[in-house]
Amino acid sequence: MYLNDLFSSSSPIKVKNMPHLVAVDSRKISVVIQGPLYRNLSPQRNIFACIASVRTHLPHAEVIVSTWCHEDTSTVEADQLIMSDDPGAFVDDAGNQININRMLRSTLCGIQAASRPYVMKMRADHNLTSPALAVIGQPDDANPGETCLFETPITTTTLYIRDPERLPMLFHISDLVQFGARDAMLAMWEQPLFERDALFNDKPSRNPFGNFIGYTSARMVAEQALMLGVMHRSGIDARLARPCEVGLSNLKLWDSVLRCNFRVLNHHEAGVDFPERFLTGSHVLKTLYKATDIHQLRSLDASGYRLRIARIWLNQYVLTCLRPGWWISSATIVLFSISPTFAKRVRSYWRTFRKVAHAQSYRV
């Protein structure tokens, strides 16, 4: 009902390649800043800078900080402070932390506390540069067989929604910033915490063939786990045996879910100042969808999908030597198979050199 009121009382704003988007008044918005506060990350990137940016660009929004009981919240000026027990992270075979349960708990607790009809989800190491993300699109007229998870679509950005023709990963939704009706955001994030056996296979994969993830036993990455979780709760039994598994039926399903349930803005046009480490790898950014690519998925027919899956498999299994991500993935398999300790040291130096090390040592 929020969307009907919004479209009847407002004029659609013009957003490049995304028709029928409507700006939402900040009086109707709760902004949930979830996870660690990054108090000392840098003068320009911390909880205080984040809140200030929200106050500047969404001046009447309710600001909710949802973080952990051990975080220092002194002098944090928010409308609500939600303190939760930290559920911890999973650690994969290569020593990477997978923070899906942290993200689920802090985000959900913040959304549940929201008192406004629309909710924006973001992190303390992000800043707003405009209100561009605070837009809502009307649902499409769903074709038979298409899957609608939410009554109204959720707005997000292309960072990191992988184009499987460039990096073979399905169900890889962007979890950094999202905006939507409170009911839709609850449907997205109201999931039980994951058990380890739901995310990991018994042993790591050492097969480099078609593998762009490297040395890990993870069955799916956090973004995939989030998306598959909400789909399972809607009765859709999609599964992955490994993160880079791509089949025709899952490809069609993911294209339909992405197109019907999300309105995606190009990340550089979304009014969000993302951490520098997310934007430094040009070869990584080239693996992302563009907003126009997602909009055009609707036009694919059976022959179009046969051509699409052929291109994906060609890039995944034949032209891998042309993909920098595959060489990096294969190097991790070799190094971790020889010496995990040495491999972690090399990876840490590599990430520090390329300025992609994770803040607060979530990835080291």
Closest Cα partner for 7 from 23, 19, 31, 26? 23
CA distance 273 to 53: 10
**108-112, 194-198, 281-285, range with the lowest pLDDT:** 281-285
pLDDT in tens, 304-330: 999 999 999 999 999 888 888 888 889
**97-101, 127-131, 202-206, 252-256, range with the lowest pLDDT:** 202-206
Helix (H, G, I), strand (E, B) or coil at 198: helix
CA distance 216 to 213: 7
pTM, entire model: 0.90
- Give the mean model confidence (pLDDT) for residues 167-182: 97
pLDDT at 359 over 80: no
Residue that is written with structure tokens 């300025």 in the block: 355
Question: Could you tell me the end-to-end alpha-carbon distance of the chain, in angstroms, rounded to an integer?
Answer: 46
- Give the mean model confidence (pLDDT) for residues 208-221: 90
pLDDT at 207 over 70: yes
Specify the DSSP class assigned to residue 222.
H
Token readout for 361 is 């040592």
Angle between helices 324-338 and 340-353 (to 10 degrees): 150
H or E element: which one contains 173? none
CA distance 311 to 165: 6
